[in-house]
Amino acid sequence: MNKHMNKHKFTDKEKEYIRENAKTSTISEMAEALGLRYASIVYFLNVNKIPHLSRTGKCESGLSPREFEVLSLMAKGYSNKEIADELFLSITTIKTHLSNIYGKLLLTGDNWGHAEMRVKAVLMYLNQGEGLLNEVWKY
């Protein structure tokens, strides 16, 4: 397989390099250092849900604008139903957004219950705001 394809089979050394440098190097810098395409690095980061520096130099959680909007309403104390009403969405859609948010923030049910994940997500939002998440692992 060509090492420049998006489905590149990463070596252990490449995986380790990306994980160690994701928060301090841009994707372009990592791609250049490893001799890989930008898209290959992005693919690896997204598949493994690794927060990383954006082009602006801020660490990105990967939240979509809608997920960020749901999280901001959650931080204001809105219930799932109130968020659904505010955004003209179903409660099921809100629950899907919340599940996606928790996953992207590396909050899993294996470690915490639903209420704890909700509180931790809100704390991350309040502590980091639009720069969400500079240090996702500190919580």
Verdict on whether the full-model pTM lies above 0.75: no
Dihedral sign for Cα atoms in the order 116, 50, 73, 109 = negative
User: Which of these, 61, 58, 67, lies nearest to 45 by C-alpha position?
Assistant: 61
Please report, for the chain, the start and end positions of each structural domain, with discontinuous segments joined by +: 12-60, 65-138
Residue that has been written with the tokens 């190097």 in this structure: 25
Per-residue pLDDT of the chain (139 residues; tens, 9 = 90+): 333 334 678 899 999 999 888 877 777 788 889 998 877 887 788 777 776 665 544 445 677 778 888 988 998 899 999 999 988 999 999 999 999 888 888 777 666 788 888 998 888 777 765 444 443 333 3
Domain 65-138: which CATH class? Answer: mainly alpha
Tokens for 68? 């960020």
